[in-house]
Amino acid sequence: MIVRTIKNQSKSMDHLITKSTNYFYLAIIFLLSAACSVNPNGTDLNRQAEHVIIIGVDGMSPNGILNAETPVMDQLMAEGSYTLNARGVLPTSSSTNWSSMVSGAGPEQHGITSNGWERDDHILPPVITGTEDIFPTIFGVARVEKPELKIGAIYDWDGFGRLIERSALDYDRNGEDEDATAQLAIDYIKSDKPDLLFVHLDHADHVGHHDGHKTPKYHEAVAKADSIIGKIIQATKDTGIYSETIFIISADHGGIGYGHGGETLDEIEIPFIIHGKNIKKGNLIKHQVYQYDNAATVAFALGIEQPYAWIGKPVKSAFVGFPEPASFGDAKVAIAAPIILPKPNLYEPSGGLFIDKPAELIIEANKDVEVHYTLDGSLPDKNSPIYTQPVRLTTSSVVMAKSFGAQNEESAVAKAYFRLLKSGNGNGVSYKYYESPGMKFLPVFETLKPIYSSTKNQIRIDDINKRPDQFAIKYSTYLQIDTPGAYKFYVTSDDGSKLYINGDMVVDNDGGHGAIERSGTVELEKGRVFLEVEYFNESGGWWLDTYYKGSNIPKQIIPADKLFLRPN
Ligand SMILES: [Zn+2]
């Protein structure tokens, strides 16, 4: 999908002029409303810290932090409070999530439903507007409630500027790149000791798109963000405000393959790390944290009352003196999930395709937990086998594993798809590769001439020779059905796809979008059915996974040993 439209935001002086006009009205609003947060001595009753610095790293996934060299963030987590299971909002696009982060609300409230959003061109109006014609962000709200605050925003992606009330800012800069952005932040901290500073770094997102997520280059980009965070923290030490400052490190979204914008956990899970004055040390936040809780937490830290229209809640349990809230439901974040080898890579979940060789199931987990696993796709419980040593797999298997702690804590479920294939049995998928400009939906394949045709073992695109944008592929294969009954097919694709059985469309996932799953059900007889998958990439990231599920077949990547080049 197309990930973002970069628009040049002119940094003219006119926002400074509107700013002084706004101040006139803001001062009145302040007189009417803000006195309640100040006690008779003039000191803030609830302010937790003098300075709050939020560093948002575009596209930095929790997985990226876990796999990159990040000594600074590791220390912030060890000496602060954090969760690596905070959740962004849908769609997992930058504009939508940055807006939610700074405005304490979801797209349903702020109306920024895609990267195509512009102030003068959008579908959903914001439910309320603040000091500008957008849903009120922390910047506009802070300016109204506490006009005396020094507020800055420095952003590597100029598109960030259109999402916020720039008229509320004392310092408003668009950095040339991540290093220039960091330097602007360091200089501003040293010169002005801001009360509220937002720093946006863009480079990890670029590397994710260019080189793929879960790749060494992506991990280098996360490591670079870590070192920049270290430099910004050092600037507060040099200026003498470190002990009065709260730092929040988070991200708009993660990524999958070369993209984001879809509906996968890899894209929607984000880190939320908070550290500094009045913040608990070594505290894993066990309750849920959402993208829109960030602004609410900043408001809480600065003693600012959040607008009623915000839906975010301050992450109070991160602050000294505030308990973890009573939980409802089972949080799956108490202990880390086990890791099934081979680890997921850029394009495949854990497991993989094993041709003419058995697979070995190896599970890694923390020392103090018991790992239970299943091989039939059922959810593991304490009655499932305990993993103690590598297990030899001789047939295609859907492996699920879960860690159980001594205090009944449970991890999330780790899944792996092992596909075993013996050569010489006529297995395979044939496909045709096409290129055509201007595609926003699947093309009419009959009107196009394929560039080339070939065969492969699975319905996948990662190992296909292709150009990055405006290509389409049509796969054809015969799927062996051993048990008659209802079968559900799923296609996760970025961009569009359709799946046909015996010429009838079963799954329609067409259009330009991120990695989104769509499904459909069909009754099938025993024997081989003709399976076709059509796929196209408009531009940007690309992804294709095909799964199926039957009455006694767990949902799994359609295994290569059930796909044949001929009908019989
Ligand atoms: Zn992106």
User: What CATH number did the domain enclosing 276 receive?
Assistant: 3.40.720.10
Domain assignment present for 331: no
Q: Are strands 553-557 and 543-550 parallel, antiparallel or unpaired?
A: antiparallel
Domain's final residue, options 392, 421, 450: 421
Q: What distance lies between CA 311 and its chain's CA centroid?
A: 20
- Compute the radius of gyration of the chain from its Cα atoms: 26
Q: Answer yes or no: do 45 and 91 share one domain.
A: yes
Q: Answer yes or no: do 399 and 547 share one domain.
A: no
Give the mean pLDDT per block of 10 residues along the chain (568 residues).
47 39 47 44 71 98 95 98 96 97 98 94 94 97 97 97 98 97 98 98 96 94 98 98 98 94 92 98 93 98 97 97 81 74 83 94 91 96 96 95 88 92 96 96 96 96 91 98 97 96 98 93 97 95 94 94 96
Q: Answer yes or no: do 513 and 391 share one domain.
A: no
Query: Can you give the pLDDT at residue 205?
Result: 97
Domain assignment present for 7: no
Q: For residue 256, how far is its CA from the centre of ligand 1 (angstroms)?
A: 10
> Cα–Cα distance between 305 and 295 in angstroms, integer?
11
> Cα–Cα distance between 471 and 539 in angstroms, integer?
9
Domain assignment present for 6: no
Q: Answer yes or no: do 406 and 451 share one domain.
A: no
Domain assignment present for 327: no
* Residues around ligand 1, an ion, CB closer than 5 A: 3, 205
Domain assignment present for 2: no
Q: Answer yes or no: do 417 and 434 share one domain.
A: no
Q: For residue 286, how far is its CA from the centre of ligand 1 (angstroms)?
A: 28
CB contact at 8 A, 481 and 487: yes
What single DSSP character describes residue 264? -
Q: Answer yes or no: do 375 and 440 share one domain.
A: no
Q: For residue 553, how far is its CA from the centre of ligand 1 (angstroms)?
A: 36
Q: Answer yes or no: do 243 and 125 share one domain.
A: yes
Q: Answer yes or no: do 136 and 261 share one domain.
A: yes
Q: How many domains does the chain have?
A: 3
Q: For residue 206, how far is its CA from the centre of ligand 1 (angstroms)?
A: 7
Name residue 455's beta-bridge partners: 430
Domain assignment present for 160: yes
Q: For residue 4, how far is its CA from the centre of ligand 1 (angstroms)?
A: 7
Domain assignment present for 513: yes
User: CATH number for the domain including 406?
Assistant: 2.60.40
Q: Give the residue numbers spanning the domain of 411.
A: 339-421
Q: Is the dihedral of CA 254, 108, 333, 48 positive or negative?
A: positive
Query: Can you give the pLDDT at residue 333?
Result: 54
Q: Answer yes or no: do 210 and 67 share one domain.
A: yes
Q: Answer yes or no: do 397 and 478 share one domain.
A: no
Q: Answer yes or no: do 414 and 502 share one domain.
A: no
Q: For residue 417, how far is its CA from the centre of ligand 1 (angstroms)?
A: 28
Q: For residue 308, how far is its CA from the centre of ligand 1 (angstroms)?
A: 31
**In terms of DSSP H, where are the helices of 200-310?**
203-211, 216-239, 265-268, 293-301
Domain's final residue, options 421, 448, 466: 421
Q: Answer yes or no: do 103 and 18 share one domain.
A: yes
> Cα–Cα distance between 126 and 109 in angstroms, integer?
6
Query: Can you give the pLDDT at residue 330?
Result: 59
pTM here is: 0.80
Domain's final residue, options 283, 318, 353: 318
Domain assignment present for 330: no
Query: Can you give the pLDDT at residue 331?
Result: 56
